[in-house]
Structure 1
Amino acid sequence: MQFLSSWATNDRRTLLHFSKATLATFCQHVQASDTECEAGGLLLGSVHGAHMLIEQATIPTAWDKRFRYLFERMPFGHEAIALSRWTASQGTVRYLGEWHTHPEDHPHPSGLDRSEWNCLSAKRRDKRPMLAVVVGRKSLYVELVPSSGCGSVLTPVE
C-alpha cells in the first residue's frame, strides 16, 4: 500500500504534504479484510500561508466507537494529544482536521461524513476550512471543507 504524500487543489493555490508518519498511520488502519472496523482520528500539523504540513494522525482510542461502516471519534485521548502537541510546539502544531477509513477501494464521503465535517468546520476558531481525509483500500479522498458551501477536493501531485 502506497499513498502519495503531496496533494493540491486544482488551481494549485493550496498544497498539502502528509508526513511519512501520517501515511504510515493511514496504511496501518486500511480496512483490508471484510471483518475490520473503521478507524480514524485527528490530523495535526502546521500551516504555512495557504499550505499545510500534516505531521501526525492520531489513532483510534479505546473510547472511540468502531464498526464496519461507522467510526465515531470520542473527544478523550485525541484532544489531549492535540493540546500536548500544540503546547510543546508553542502553537505551531495544531488541529487541521479529521481522518477515517472506509471499506472501499476508492472512498467517497457519505452524507453523514459531510454533515459532520460541516459542523466541525463551523466550530473552528481560526475560521480555516477543515481538512477531511477518507482512507480507502487503494486511494485517499482529501477535501478542504469550509463552514458553509462546497469544499475543495484535492488531488495527488506526482
Structure 2
Amino acid sequence: MQFLGSWATGGKGTLLHFSAGTLQTFNQHIQGTDADCEAGGLLLGSVHGGHLLIEQATVPTAWDKRFRYLFERMPFGHEAIALSRWTASQGTVRYLGEWHTHPEDHPHPSGLDRSEWTRLSAQRRDKRPMLAVIVGRQSLYVELVPSTGRGSVLIPVE
C-alpha cells in the first residue's frame, strides 16, 4: 500500500507531512492477514507554526501488549527514544502523537481510541492537540485531537 505523505485540515489551516521513514513504518505494520496483531507507537517530529513534520514513528516493543483488536503501548522503549530525539535535536523533535493499526481497509476510531486520545491530549505540556493516526489496510485515519475531545480530521493532499 502506498499512503500519501502530505495531509491537511479542510481549509488547509494545518498542513502535515509524514517522512518516508514514517510511512515505511506504517506499511510494515499493516494488518494484512487474520493472524496479524495491532501495532503502534509514538509520532515524533517538529512543529513549524501551525504545521507539523512527522519525522519518526516508533515501532512496537517487547513490552507492548498486542492483540488482533487491541494495542496497548507501554512506556518502556518508546519514551527513551522520544527523550533521546528531543535531546539530540535540542528540543526541536518532540512528541506529537500516537499511531496504531486496525484490521480494517478504511479505519475509524473506536470509543476506546477516542477516550485514550482525549486523555493523552489533556496530558500534553504544550497544550497542542495530539496527532492521532490509525493505519488501515488501504488508508490512514488522521486527526488532531484537542483535550476537549473530537478535533480536526485531516485529508490527504496530492
Q: How high is the TM-score relative to the length of structure 1?
A: 0.99
- Alignment correspondent of 1:80: 80
The residue matched to 1:66 in structure 2 has which SS? strand
1:28 and 1:81 map into 2 onto residues whose CA distance is 19
Question: Does the residue aligned with 1:38 lie in a helix, a strand or coil?
Answer: coil
After TM superposition, give the deviation of residue 134 of structure 1 in Å: 0.1
TM-superposed CA distance for 1:33, in Å, is 0.3
Matched AA of 2:37: C
How far did 1:71 drift? Answer: 0.0
Given residue 21 of structure 2, which amino acid in structure 1 is its aligned partner?
A
Distance in 2 between the 1:108 and 1:20 partners? 23
2:61 corresponds to which residue?
A: 61
User: Structure 1: 5+ residue runs without aligned partners?
Assistant: none
Which residue of the partner structure matches residue 20 of structure 1?
Answer: 20
User: Which AA in structure 1 matches 2:32?
Assistant: A
AA at the equivalent of 1:67: F
C-alpha distance after superposition, 1:37-93 (max 9, x if no partner): 000000000000000000000000000000000000000000000000000000000
Identity %: 84
Q: Which amino acid aligns with 1:60?
A: P
The runs of at least 4 consecutive aligned structure 1 residues that moved more than 6 Å come to none
Task: Provide the rounded CA distance (Å) in 1 between the counterparts of 2:135 and 2:144.
Answer: 15
| Residue in structure 1 matched with residue 109 of structure 2 by the alignment | 109
Secondary structure of 1:36's match?
coil
* CA distance in 2 between partners of 1:120 and 1:149 (Å): 10
In structure 2, the partner of 1:144 is 144
Q: What SS does structure 1 have at the residue aligned with 2:35?
A: coil
C-alpha distance in structure 1 between counterparts of 2:85 and 2:66, whole Å: 25
CA distance in 1, matches of 2:27, 2:149: 31
Q: Within 2, Cα distance between the matches of 1:128 and 1:154?
A: 16
Q: 1:149 to 1:64 in 2, by over 3 A?
A: closer
Q: 2 CA distance for matches of 1:65 and 1:149?
A: 25
Aligned residue pairs: how many?
158
Matched residue type, 2:78: H
- TM (norm. structure 2) is 0.99
Cα distance between partner residues in 2 of 1:15 and 1:82: 22
Could you say what secondary structure the match of 1:96 adopts?
strand
Tell me the alpha carbon deviations over residues 4-58 of structure 1, each in whole angstroms, 9 at most, x when there is no partner. 0000000100000000000000000000000000000000000000000000000
Determine if contact 2:144/2:153 at 8 Å carries over to the other structure: yes
Instruction: Specify the SS of the correspondent of 2:38.
Output: coil
Aligned counterpart, 1:6:
6
Give, as a single letter, the amino acid of the residue that structure 2 aligns with 1:64: D
